[in-house]
C-alpha cells in the first residue's frame, strides 16, 4: 500500500505518493515507532502504545509520540493500519490539539517496553482459539489462570523489582511467597532451578556457582553465555524466569 497526500494545484488536486506502507495489517501487530500519517500525507508522529481490551478485541486507539509530546489518538480517527504505517483522518498539524494520554487506560502492550510483540500476538491468539475450541474446559481455565499469574509476575519484576523480591516472585521455595509461577535465577536454590526445562541437578548447581562468582546475572544472554546454553533453551526460559537484583 502506498500512502498519498493531496496537493492543491490550479484549483485541482494532485495525488502525490510519499511512502510504501506495506500490506494492510492489524493493531495487534503494530510495532514500536511505526509512523502515523495525517490525511494530508504529513507525519503526525510515531506509535508509542496500543490501547485496547484484548479479551474483548476492542481497539481504543493509540498513544503517539509527536513534536508536541505524547498524544492520545482515538480509534475513530484511525483510517487504516498497514505493515509500516498508520493512516489517520486528521491533518498532521492537528496532532497538537489531540488530548493528552489518560493514565491507566487499557493497554494491550507497551511497545516501548516490550520489544517482542509477536510473543504477545501468539499468546492472545492461543487464548482465543482455546476458548473457541474447548469452551468451559476447567483444565484450560486453570492453564489461563497460570498464564495470567505468570504474566503479572514478569510485569512486576520488570517494573518494580524491589517489590517483586519482597513479595517472593520467583521463589516457590519460600512459604507464603507470591512466586507467580516463575523462578528467580538470581536467588532460587538449585533444587528449584533443576525443575526448569532443559535443566538437571548438575546444570542447576553450575548456575548457582556461576551467579555467586559474579554476584548475579544481569541478563539471560549473560547467563546463556556463561553456562554455554543453546539459544533455543535461553529463549524457552524467557517467559519462565526472572533475574531480580
Question: Along the 245 residues of the chain, how does pLDDT read in single tens digits?
Answer: 444 544 333 343 333 345 778 888 888 888 888 999 988 888 999 999 888 765 566 788 999 999 989 999 999 999 999 888 999 999 888 888 898 887 544 544 444 444 455 565 666 666 666 555 556 667 777 877 888 888 999 999 999 999 999 999 999 999 988 888 899 999 999 999 999 988 999 999 999 999 999 999 999 999 999 999 988 889 889 889 999 99
Regarding whether 145 and 77 lie in a shared domain, the answer is no
Dihedral in degrees, nearest 10, Cα atoms 65, 67, 70, 76: -70
Q: At what angle do helices 201-214 and 220-227 cross, to 10 degrees?
A: 120
pTM reported for the whole predicted model: 0.46
Reduced to 3 states, what is the DSSP secondary structure of residue 123? helix
Regarding whether 38 and 93 lie in a shared domain, the answer is yes
In a domain, 224, yes or no: yes
Which of 110, 143, 173 finishes a domain? 110
pLDDT of residue 59: 82
d(CA 193, CA 202): 10
pLDDT of residue 60: 87
pLDDT of residue 142: 80
Q: How many structural domains compose the chain? A: 2
Q: Does residue 59 contact residue 73 with C-beta atoms inside 8 Å?
A: no
Domain that holds residue 140: 134-242
Q: Does residue 21 contact residue 85 with C-beta atoms inside 8 Å?
A: yes
Which of 95, 110, 125 finishes a domain? 110
Regarding whether 233 and 141 lie in a shared domain, the answer is yes
Based on DSSP, count helices (H) and strands (E) in the chain, helices before strands: 7, 11
Regarding whether 187 and 231 lie in a shared domain, the answer is yes
Backbone angles phi, psi at 205, to 5 degrees: -65, -40
pLDDT of residue 25: 84
Q: Provide the grid cell at 177.
A: 511467597
Element (H, E) at 147: helix 138-159
Regarding whether 219 and 149 lie in a shared domain, the answer is yes
Regarding whether 148 and 202 lie in a shared domain, the answer is yes
pLDDT of residue 12: 38
* Cα radius of gyration (the chain): 23
pLDDT of residue 126: 64
Q: At what angle do helices 138-159 and 117-133 cross, to 10 degrees?
A: 160
Burial class of 215 by CB neighbour count within 10 A (0 to 12, 13 to 18, 19+):
exposed
Looking up cell 473457541 gives: 132
- b/e per residue, 53-75, with b = 16+ CB within 10 A? ebeeeebbbbbbbbeeeebbbee
d(CA 54, CA 144): 14
Amino acid at each position: 500500500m502506498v500512502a498519498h497526500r493531496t496537493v492543491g494545484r490550479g484549483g485541482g488536486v494532485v495525488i502525490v505518493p510519499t511512502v510504501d506502507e506495506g500490506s494492510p495489517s492489524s493493531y495487534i501487530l503494530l510495532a514500536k515507532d511505526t509512523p502515523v500519517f495525517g490525511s494530508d500525507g504529513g507525519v503526525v508522529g510515531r506509535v508509542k502504545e496500543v490501547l485496547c481490551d484484548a479479551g474483548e478485541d476492542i481497539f481504543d486507539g493509540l498513544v503517539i509520540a509527536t513534536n508536541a509530546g505524547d498524544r492520545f489518538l482515538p480509534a475513530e480517527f484511525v483510517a487504516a493500519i498497514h505493515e509500516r504505517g498508520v493512516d489517520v483522518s486528521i491533518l498532521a498539524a492537528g496532532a497538537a490539539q489531540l488530548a493528552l494520554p489518560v493514565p491507566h487506560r487499557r493497554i494491550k502492550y507497551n511497545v516501548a517496553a516490550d520489544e517482542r510483540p509477536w510473543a504477545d500476538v501468539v499468546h492472545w491468539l492461543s487464548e482465543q482459539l482455546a476458548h473457541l475450541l474447548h469452551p468451559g474446559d476447567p483444565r484450560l481455565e486453570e492453564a489461563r489462570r497460570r498464564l495470567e499469574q505468570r504474566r503479572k509476575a514478569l510485569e512486576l519484576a520488570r517494573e518494580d523489582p524491589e517489590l517483586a523480591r519482597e513479595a517472593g516472585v520467583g521463589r516457590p521455595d519460600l512459604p507464603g511467597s507470591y512466586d507467580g509461577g516463575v523462578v528467580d535465577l538470581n536467588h532460587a536454590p538449585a533444587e528449584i532451578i533443576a525443575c526448569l526445562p532443559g535443566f538437571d541437578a548438575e546444570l542447576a548447581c553450575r548456575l548457582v556457582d556461576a551467579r555467586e562468582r559474579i554476584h548475579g546475572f544481569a541478563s539471560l544472554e549473560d547467563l546463556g553465555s556463561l553456562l554455554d546454553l543453546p539459544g533455543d533453551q535461553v529463549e524457552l526460559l524467557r517467559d519462565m524466569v526472572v533475574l531480580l537484583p
